[in-house]
Amino acid sequence: MAAPLLDIEDLHVRLAAGRAARPVVDGVSLHVASGETVGLVGESGSGKSVTCRAVLGLLPRGAAATGAVRVDGSDVLAMSAARLRELRRHHVAMVFQDPRAAVNPIRRIGDFVTEGMRAAGVPREAALGRAEDLLESVGIRDPRTALRRYPHEFSGGMLQRVVIAAALAGEPRLLLADEPTTALDVTTQAEVVSILARLRAERAMGMLFVTHDLELAAAICDRVYVMYAGRIVEAQSADGLFARPRHPYTAGLLGATPRLGSELPPRAVPGRPVSLAEAPAGCAFAARCAHALPRCADEQPVQREVGGARVSCLRAEETADD
Partner 1 sequence: MAGFLLRRAGGILATLLVTSLAVFGSVHLAPGDPATFLLGGRSASPEAVAAIEAQYHLDDPLPVQYVKWAGGVLTGDLGRSVQFRQDVADLILARLPTTLWLVGYAALLIVLVGLTLGALAALRPGAVDRLVLVGTGVATATPAFVAAIGLVSLFSVRLGWFPAFGNGSGLGGRISHLTLPAVALALTFTGLLARVTRASMLEELGRDHVEVARSRGIPGSAVVRRHVLRNALGPITTVTGTVVAGLLVATSIVETAFGLSGIGQLLVGSVTVKDFPVVQAVSLLVVLAFACVNLLVDLAHPLIDPRLSHAKGAAS
Ligand X SMILES: Nc1ncnc2c1ncn2[C@@H]1O[C@H](COP(=O)(O)OP(=O)(O)O)[C@@H](O)[C@H]1O
Site of interaction with Mg ion (CB under 5 A): 49
Residue 317 contact, options partner 1, ligand X, Mg ion, none, Cβ 5-8 Å cut-off depending on partner type: none
Among 60, 116, 282, 301, binds ligand X (CB under 6 A): 60
- DSSP string across 52-63: HHHHTT---TT-
Output 130 or 315, the one with its CB closest to partner 1: 130
Q: Closest distance between ligand X and the C-beta of residue 160, in Å?
A: 17
Q: Does 85 bind partner 1 (CB under 8 A)?
A: yes
Nearest to 312 by CA among 238, 253, 256, 229: 229
Q: How many residues bind partner 1 (CB under 8 A)?
A: 30
Q: Closest distance between Mg ion and the C-beta of residue 1, in Å?
A: 31
Output 62 or 73, the one with its CB closest to partner 1: 62
Instruction: Report the half-sphere exposure of 259 (CA within 13 A, side-chain side).
Output: 8
Q: Does 77 bind ligand X (CB under 6 A)?
A: no
Among 3, 78, 119, 281, binds partner 1 (CB under 8 A): 119
Among 1, 18, 105, 264, binds partner 1 (CB under 8 A): 105
Give counts: helices (H), strands (E), the chain. Answer: 12, 12
Instruction: Report the C-alpha gap between 133 and 226 in whole angstroms.
Output: 36
Residue 311 contact, options Mg ion, ligand X, partner 1, none, Cβ 5-8 Å cut-off depending on partner type: none
Cβ atoms of residues 207 and 32 within 8 Å: yes
Instruction: Report the C-alpha gap between 235 and 241 in whole angstroms.
Output: 8
Residue 94 contact, options Mg ion, ligand X, partner 1, none, Cβ 5-8 Å cut-off depending on partner type: partner 1
Residue 50 contact, options partner 1, Mg ion, ligand X, none, Cβ 5-8 Å cut-off depending on partner type: ligand X
Cβ burial 43-57 (10 Å sphere, 16+ → b, else e): bebbbbbbbbbbbbb
Map residues 22-51 to x or -, x wherever contact with ligand X holds by CB under 6 A.
--x-----------------x-xxxxxxx-
Cβ atoms of residues 83 and 123 within 8 Å: no
Q: Does 63 bind partner 1 (CB under 8 A)?
A: no
Torsion of CA 242, 252, 307, 220, to 10 degrees: 30
Cβ atoms of residues 38 and 208 within 8 Å: yes
Determine the interface stretch with partner 1 among 112-120, 254-262, 296-304, 312-320 (rule: CB under 8 A).
112-120
CA distances from 243 to 33, 239, 246, 254, 284 (A): 23, 6, 10, 10, 24
Instruction: Report the C-alpha gap between 150 and 280 in whole angstroms.
Output: 48
Judged by the rule CB under 6 A, the positions of this chain that interact with ligand X are 15, 19, 24, 42, 44-50, 60, 276
Judged by the rule CB under 8 A, the positions of this chain that interact with partner 1 are 53, 56, 58, 84-90, 93-94, 96, 98, 101-107, 111, 115-116, 119-120, 150, 152, 166, 170
